[in-house]
Structure 1
Amino acid sequence: MRILILGGAGYIGSHVVREFLDNGAEVTVFDNLSSGLRENLFPEAAFVHGSILDYDSLRRAMSEGFDAMVHLAAFKAAGESMIAPEKYSVNNISGTINILNAAAETGIRRFIFSSSAAVYGEPEYLPIDENHPLNPENYYGFTKLEIERILSWYDQLKEIKFAALRYFNAAGYDPTGRITGLEQNPANLLPIIMEVAAGTRPALSIFGDDYNTPDGTGIRDYVHVSDLAAAHYQAFRYLEAKNTSLTVNLGSESGLSVREILDTARRITGKEIPARVAPRRPGDPAKLVASSRLARERLGWKALHSDVESLAATSWQVYKSADA
């Protein structure tokens, strides 16, 4: 089992690499280290320093022969995507076309894609399943949706079978502490809370406390990054066995509010974690929760570490070193 993981030095990517290594795979990481970290690389995995915008380097790496590839080499900041769409067009869309063309040329026929719940946009019903209308509200989500559509065509025309995994909110760290690289400039709730706890950020902003939720703060579906990583391996096994493409949600199916996560983090870290209420952000829904029924049925996937205690505790075991 030889696997090429594009973006394997990043936060999610390093956990995916670890999952494949733990299952006996021979792994090569391809990463330009623009946001990935050398400290997230494992000595038992080969490393190629390269960009998905460099077709020749992609083709050379792929020509070594792989049973599948995993693509996590996308820009992912939704806010930035609305300011710099050209950056996201070039990297996310053009870069993925390079990857697919190189895969077609070198004979790689299994493709696992890091997609996003951002393809759905404003929820029309809950929980969100794969039949929910696709109407992204930011350009990042648009790029993920366009890539899914391109994948469908390459499935038909080049016989590249894909698994598009629509993540909800990734959080947490490897429970055994093998991955310690901190996210750079995080925009998600839990790493921001951890930065405040570690003293590298002054306070948390809670964007709205008057939503129609039990405690007034927004509710989101958080899924542990190790659970996400397991889904990538299970998706590879599915493609290997079925030779059929699929698209599935990956979420815990249990919404957590901002205050619930904050209160848990305060208890686990023993830190005050200052927080202030700020105005709602435009377009933020009160609640977002996934249905992951299809992932359970097709992949046998379960969210094993996605409870609030595990999310906070595994994050703090990494961030507390910054507080030392």
Structure 2
Amino acid sequence: MKVLVTGGAGYIGGHMVLALRDAGHDSVVLDNLSTGFRWSVPEDVPLVVGDVGDYELVLQTLRAHSIDAIVHFAAKLIVPESLRDPLGYHLNNTVKSRSLLAAAVAAGVETFVFSSTAAVYGNASDRPIAEDAPLAPLSPYGSSKQLTEVMLREVAAAHGMRFVVLRYFNVAGADPAMRHGQCTANATHLIKVAVQTALGMRPSMEVFGTDYPTPDGTCIRDYIHVSDLISAHMRALDHLGAGGESLVANCGYGHGYSVSEVIDTVRKVSGRPLEARIALRRDGDPVTIVADSTRLRSSLDWQPRYDDLATIVEHTLRWETMLRERNLKL
């Protein structure tokens, strides 16, 4: 199978490229390198530097490499930023996805895996949320992903495309072999921020609200290891490759941890102090959001390997330590 990975020089997309390579599949990366890194793409994987919204470039790439499937990661993904720049998010995440889909139709690509988000659910209940729950995003980020899901479903119905939409919960961790991890300098992911604070790379971190209706007053999230998330993508490609029907599936473990629990785990795993300052709530943050992953497990025969918060933190800690040591040598 030949797979185009959009955003394949980034955090999650980079792990996908490694997994495809490990499985013996050919991949091509399309990335504008706005947040991705050229060095993260293996030398034997073609890298097309360009924008996913460049219709002619994408069409040329699909045809030149005889692409069978597209796995679409390229997107902006910071909720507070999307509230400040809704038009930018809809341009990048919705309009450019429309262009990508148009090129896929023109090139005859019939298999598509889309990186969506639990943000499409909005302020979910305190119970694990299933895929048929009402969609009520609280941010332009969530709305932009929801609209792309709608486009994908309608394009599939009109043109015979089959797809899997994977709605991510909170992705964290790094490749256990330390080949790849989160490299963005000013990342906002809680576990990465907490680990960097424990390592002294940040003087302190903020906890955005301690007055939520949860046991300790902080928000609760379902954290999934990036390698388990990527295994879901691989199972999705296998499913579609075997003629499976289109589906939407949540990517999470089915249980959550509060912000305070994450910070305590980072302190314990790192053995270091960590200063966490209390700040005001952020707009667009749901109270609790935990996945019902029944469909992912049953329809795609997915089984996680790293369903343990301490393991996720430990892999993040190793990656951040390695990055820091490498940067000190440069």
Query: In which range does the TM-score fall when normalised by the shorter chain?
Result: over 0.9
| CA displacement at 1:238 relative to structure 2 | 0.8
Equivalence for 1:278 = 279
* Cα distance in structure 1, aligned partners of 2:7 and 2:45: 13
Correspondences of 1:17-96 after superposition (within 5 Å): 17-63=17-63, 64-96=65-97
Equivalence for 1:155 = 156
Task: Note if 1:123 corresponds to 2:124.
Answer: yes
Residues 173/149 of structure 1: CA separation in 2 closer, same or farther (3 Å cut) = same
Secondary structure at 2:242's aligned position in 1? helix
| CA displacement at 1:184 relative to structure 2 | 3.5
| CA displacement at 1:124 relative to structure 2 | 3.9
| CA displacement at 1:270 relative to structure 2 | 2.4
* Cα distance in structure 2, aligned partners of 1:297 and 1:15: 24
Correspondences of 1:137-152 after superposition (within 5 Å): 137-152=138-153
Q: Deviations over 1:36-63 (max 9, x none)?
A: 1123211232211111121111011100
Q: Deviations over 1:15-42 (max 9, x none)?
A: 1111111111111111110001123211
| CA displacement at 1:125 relative to structure 2 | 5.5
Task: Note if 1:232 corresponds to 2:214.
Answer: no
Amino acid at match of 2:5: I
Q: Deviations over 1:197-249 (max 9, x none)?
A: 23232211112334343333221100111111111110011111234211000
Secondary structure at 1:111's aligned position in 2? strand
* Cα distance in structure 2, aligned partners of 1:263 and 1:301: 29
Equivalence for 1:170 = 171
Residues 285/143 of structure 1: CA separation in 2 closer, same or farther (3 Å cut) = closer
* Cα distance in structure 2, aligned partners of 1:218 and 1:139: 20
Equivalence for 2:303 = 302
Secondary structure at 1:242's aligned position in 2? coil
Task: Note if 1:184 corresponds to 2:195.
Answer: no
The question of whether the paired residues in 2 share the 8 Å contact of 1:40 and 1:180 is answered with no
Secondary structure at 1:317's aligned position in 2? helix
Amino acid at match of 1:20: L
Residues 62/179 of structure 1: CA separation in 2 closer, same or farther (3 Å cut) = same
| CA displacement at 1:142 relative to structure 2 | 0.4
The question of whether the paired residues in 2 share the 8 Å contact of 1:251 and 1:303 is answered with no
Structure 2 stretches of 5 or more lacking a match?
Answer: 326-330
Deviates more, 1:60-69 or 1:42-51: 42-51
The question of whether the paired residues in 2 share the 8 Å contact of 1:76 and 1:140 is answered with yes
Deviates more, 1:85-94 or 1:115-124: 85-94
Aligned-pair Cα RMSD in Å:
1.5
Residues 37/112 of structure 1: CA separation in 2 closer, same or farther (3 Å cut) = same
Q: Deviations over 1:81-123 (max 9, x none)?
A: 1111221122111111111111111111100000000111011
Secondary structure at 2:282's aligned position in 1? coil
| TM-score normalized with structure 2 length | 0.94
* Cα distance in structure 2, aligned partners of 1:231 and 1:124: 25
Task: Note if 1:207 corresponds to 2:224.
Answer: no
The question of whether the paired residues in 2 share the 8 Å contact of 1:208 and 1:277 is answered with yes
Equivalence for 1:241 = 242
| CA displacement at 1:323 relative to structure 2 | 4.5
Amino acid at match of 2:7: G
How many correspondences in the alignment?
Answer: 324
Q: Deviations over 1:248-270 (max 9, x none)?
A: 00011121111221112112222
Deviates more, 1:116-125 or 1:69-78: 116-125
The question of whether the paired residues in 2 share the 8 Å contact of 1:154 and 1:160 is answered with yes
Residues 83/280 of structure 1: CA separation in 2 closer, same or farther (3 Å cut) = closer
Equivalence for 1:114 = 115
Amino acid at match of 1:315: T
Secondary structure at 1:186's aligned position in 2? coil
Secondary structure at 1:291's aligned position in 2? coil
Amino acid at match of 2:49: H
* Cα distance in structure 1, aligned partners of 2:55 and 2:67: 17
| TM-score normalized with structure 1 length | 0.95
Task: Note if 1:314 corresponds to 2:315.
Answer: yes
* Cα distance in structure 2, aligned partners of 1:54 and 1:280: 38
* Cα distance in structure 2, aligned partners of 1:34 and 1:283: 24
Residues 281/49 of structure 1: CA separation in 2 closer, same or farther (3 Å cut) = closer
